[in-house]
Structure formats: C-alpha cells, structure tokens
Amino acid sequence: MSRILAVETATRACSAALLWNGECREVLRLERNRHAEILIPMARELLAEAGFGFADLDALAFGSGPGSFTGLRIGISVVQGLALGIDRPVVPVSSLWTLAARVNAPLVLAAFDARMEQVYWNLYRRVEGQGMEPLQEPRVDDPSSVRLPSEGDWVGAGSGCDAYGDALSAGQTAKLTLVHGVHPHAEDVARIAEAEFKAGRAVDPRDATPEYVRNQVVQQ
C-alpha cells in the first residue's frame, strides 16, 4: 500500500492527511489567511504520530483547485518543495472532485464561491466501486447560469451552495437538495490520489500546476 501525504488549501478549510496501509489520518482547521503558517506543522504532526519521516513517503498529493488563488499557491508550493527535497512524484486532484467525494449521494453538484458573484462548479456521478466521476470539465459561471441535467435527484454542496443556494436552485428542472457547511478534505485528496498514483497519473513536481479555471484571478 502507498504512503501518501496530501494537502487541501483551495478554501478556508486548510487540511493535511496521511494515508498508509488503507488507514488515513487528517488534521483540518478553518482558519482563513493562515494556511502558510499552519500547513507544514500539520504535516509534521501527522508524520510524527505515524512514526514516519518525509523520506518514507511514496508520493505527495494536493487539491489543485479551482479555489482561492493564494490558498492554491500555498498548497502547491509546499507540496512541490517537499517532493523535490525527497525526489518523489506528486498527484494533483481537483478540489471540486474532492468536495464531491465528501457527499454521500449518487449525483452531486460541487460548487465553490468564486467571488465576483460567480461559482466554480462541476457535476459528479457516483460509480459503484469506483467513487465519483466528473461529468464535464470544471467551470466558472454566474449561479443563475448553472443548469443540471433533468434526470435524477441532485445534491449540492460547497461554499458556492452556501452563498448562492437560491440562485442555484431557481429554474432547475431537476430536483436539487442543498447541504450546507461541507468543505473539501485532504483525506479525500489522499484516497483519490492513491488510485491515481496506482494508475500512473502522478507527475514530476516541476510539472504540477493549479487549476484556476478563471483566468482573471484578481478583480480589476
């Protein structure tokens, strides 16, 4: 079994997780603007509890976004620096995919508040024995422009649903149930990354990039 250290910093929920032998331990803190300060101590705490060092890892993984520009840069910088130091590959995992994996439902609308009255969003379907699969590429849109397929009962989660639930629900022909207060977790990054790592989809740390989705990351 692989030993994977994962981080998720796309939102105000900053988390790190260590996966080994099928077991996963996570530390998560809801502390906006402190990701750079707390992320490495969180990782060291997990490794110390498990009796591992960074050199004992097989790979590192990170939530690649979309999400907070600053948060994403902090997460990828930490993972790249650690991976280069121990010569290990990294596994990028979509933060929306990570969020969807946290929701116990067959059809999920994952949405983050993208500011500027927009949401980052994607649609996911749970496949028996395989977890969540995306139904399209991540997008950024006005909440009122998000449209669900008419078939099935959908569950919406994430800060985008928390902030724009009414606009996301309006005009839908499908049933949409919103669940609030759901955050992406590094534990789910680690579990998804393990499958991606085994499938040969890890990359060189120098080639790892965030998934911004929106080109304009700073409001003019």
Ordered by where they begin, the domains of the chain are 4-95+184-207 (3.30.420.40), 103-178 (3.30.420.40)
Q: How many CA atoms lie within 13 A of 31 on its CB side?
A: 11
Alpha helices in the chain (DSSP H): 35-50, 69-86, 95-101, 159-169, 186-198
Q: Determine the Cα–Cα distance for residues 201 and 196; give it in Å rounded to an integer.
A: 5
The model's pLDDT over 154-194, given as tens digits with 9 standing for 90+, comes to 999 999 999 999 999 999 999 999 999 999 999 999 999 99
Between strands 131-134 and 119-127, the pairing is antiparallel
End-to-end CA distance of the chain: 47
Is residue 62 classed exposed, middle or buried when 0-12, 13-18 and 19+ CB atoms within 10 A define those classes? buried
Give the model's confidence band at 120: pLDDT under 50 very low, under 70 low, under 90 confident, else very high: very high
Q: Which residue has the higher pLDDT, 215 or 145?
A: 145
Give the model's confidence band at 96: pLDDT under 50 very low, under 70 low, under 90 confident, else very high: very high
Quote the percentage of the chain above a pLDDT of 90.
92
Q: Determine the Cα–Cα distance for residues 176 and 150; give it in Å rounded to an integer.
A: 10
Give the model's confidence band at 31: pLDDT under 50 very low, under 70 low, under 90 confident, else very high: confident
pLDDT at 3: 98
Closest CA to 8 of 83, 105, 91: 91
pLDDT at 73: 96
pTM of structure: 0.94
pLDDT at 17: 98
Q: What is the CA radius of gyration of the chain?
A: 17
Between strands 153-157 and 13-20, the pairing is unpaired
pLDDT at 1: 75
Q: Is the pLDDT of residue 127 over 90?
A: yes
The model's pLDDT over 69-82, given as tens digits with 9 standing for 90+, comes to 999 999 999 999 99
Average pLDDT in the chain: 95
Quote the percentage of the chain above a pLDDT of 70.
97
Between strands 131-134 and 107-113, the pairing is unpaired
Q: Is the pLDDT of residue 147 over 70?
A: yes
Residue range 130-136: average pLDDT?
93
Going 195 to 131 to 205 to 27, the CA torsion angle's sign is: negative
